[in-house]
Structure 1
Amino acid sequence: MESELAALASLAASAVVSGLATAGWESAQRAIGDLWRRAHPERADTVVAELGEARADVLAARRDGDERAERELVGEWQTRLRRLLAAHPEMLPDLRRIVDEMGPPERRPDRRGGISVTAHASGGSRINVAGRDLTVDGR
């Protein structure tokens, strides 16, 4: 269970920190603030304010090309989220939802119920992937 918590906390931290650098950053802030309001209402406002500071930090890191600073932010939020989940495992579905909504596209479920496939070919190999019908052009 601990490894599942750590993996989910890692995905969520990446999604949240990345989300802070977008125009929809307030939804990341609101989602994490809502988790803290349920678990630790007395600390929720502080966490929300810290997410605002983290936004400024991630924007500066991206502007300066400082990948290390962004990784450190992800690490910080990963630790916080892992601790939150360890103390409140009932929040697992909520954190999964945050990852689904804010995570990178390759981590998000296909809302139409489809399957996402990634294939890499090297050398002279060929890959054909079909969801239903397939037409192969010999070019």
Structure 2
Amino acid sequence: MAESVDVVVVGLGVGGEEVAGKLAEAGLSVVGIEGKLVGGECPYWGCVPSKMMIRAGNLLTEGRRIPGMAGRSEVHPDWAPVAERIRSEATDNWNDKVAVDRFTGKGGRFVRGWGRLDGPGRVRVGDDVFEASRAVVIGT
């Protein structure tokens, strides 16, 4: 038997997470479905980690400019601290608990899995079926 909700959001990347959260905050019953990590590629693999790597590279470049400008320096690149910072600070070791809790804290229900359309207004995730009375949002 299908569970009735107002809105089902399939895909909780950056856009889907925002839509689902705003609708839940507005008081609608929202199910958010995500098979990977809530927040999408940007915080875990793209935007945030890449900026940390770029910043480290820029620091290495700046360090090499010191001789002739302001004294002496030796620069020895080591990417291990950069990788550790990405794991611990940027991605929580690729754990989306904070993002999931942020969504559920707004009143949404989170389902981990791969949603597929199963008829008008119906989304199936494994054996679970959700029937949306207002909308199905495809955020993937």
TM-score class, shorter? under 0.3
Larger radius of gyration: 2
TM-score norm. by structure 1 comes to 0.26
Task: Name the structure, 1 or 2, with higher relative contact order (CA <8 Å, separation 6+).
Answer: 2
TM-score norm. by structure 2 comes to 0.26
Quick check: which one's helix share is greater?
1
